[in-house]
A and B are shown apart, each in its own frame.
Chain A
Amino acid sequence: EAQVTQNPRYLITVTGKKLTVTCSQNMNHEYMSWYRQDPGLGLRQIYYSMNVEVTDKGDVPEGYKVSRKEKRNFPLILESPSPNQTSLYFCASSPSVGYTQYFGPGTRLTVL
């Protein structure tokens, strides 16, 4: 089954404790992206990747890191999480920009 998976689905952590949210797709898509969704602010792009070893900042990259060492995986790293990073995070993949984006199920992160 073609899908985008994210882990964990729910995470409660404390300020400053490094964490990684994993994202994997099995559709051989070149384009992958991370978004955060907040009430009243909608979906905002954090980082995107056009292919292996090619990443670029989205609209809200501060406090986040990503890597794309393999085509299927695109982890989101929070080196020192802060409460303002409490949000619902979505990973998405697409054959190319402008084409259908397939979203993962989301990761709800709470930073205390």
Chain B
Amino acid sequence: EAGVAQSPRYKIIEKRQSVAFWCNPISGHATLYWYQQILGQGPKLLIQFQNNGVVDDSQLPKDRFSAERLKGVDSTLKIQPAKLEDSAVYLCASSPQGRYYEQYFGPGTRLTVT
């Protein structure tokens, strides 16, 4: 079974630029999560999708971050404009419907904002 795929793996941008990350969850997994992990900290949940609907985006900084999951499969997370403090690893995870305790993480995208 293929795991969660993410791209790109690394990205370096200047502040005020925009960036987008892509995630393809494990086939059949209804729930998709985006996390932000700053160096030396635990992952922070940004947004959770159930199929193509948002379950909760209360921790997503909506003034600059946006996310979508069209057709209930792939998802993109966008930052516009980026700030220095957005430098982090952005992790995507997925789980089967109703089994939130079985989150499988992708390899992450390491973002550096200069």
A and B co-occur in one complex: no
